[in-house]
Amino acid sequence: MKVLVFHIGADRYGLPLRQVRRVLPLLELTAIPLAPDSVAGLMNLHGDPVPVIDLSRSGGGAPARQHFDTRIVVADYTAPGGEVHALGLMAERVQGVQELAQHELAPSGVQAAPFLGQVAADAQGMVQLVEVDALLPAELRARLFPAEAETQ
């Protein structure tokens, strides 16, 4: 499986490439008043508003730092009802694409956050997978995609 590798603090994480639509430089975001801390803001993607989640904040850390390699990853987020939405993910120090063989992946052994999946080890350390579809708790999903919440 190919993953896009990035950092939260000193730790490496991977997003399955099959869910990545595009990787953009850090863009100016519009603030969303009263949004939870993990919501970095709203971006304009060719006229469509796309919410952006700060992966560092979602992981319980400080806000993502604006490094030269901090990016916004536009990913496919599939809600429980099957609706697919564009979701921006602010990711620090995006390194690029890495191949992880299925036999290299193992359970982490820790249920820290529902969106953290399997891990793989390599010469640089561990890479933990981020499950995009498990990233948004129900309350946040309802706030970011209210039209879908109304139909459920």
Task: Let me know if residue 111 belongs to a domain.
Answer: yes
Domain hosting residue 7, numbered range: 2-139
| Total domains in the fold of the chain | 1
Task: Let me know if residue 150 belongs to a domain.
Answer: no
Please give the Cα distance from 2 to 104 (Å, whole number). 12
Please give the Cα distance from 39 to 136 (Å, whole number). 10
In this predicted structure, what is the pLDDT of residue 115?
84
- Structure confidence by residue, pLDDT tens digits, 22-70: 999 988 899 988 888 889 999 999 999 999 999 888 767 777 777 788 8
Task: Let me know if residue 144 belongs to a domain.
Answer: no
Please give the Cα distance from 152 to 106 (Å, whole number). 35
- pTM of structure: 0.87
Amino acid at 18: R
Cβ-contact 85, 145 below 8 angstroms: yes
Task: Name which of 151, 116, 21, 3 is nearest 74 in CA terms.
Answer: 21
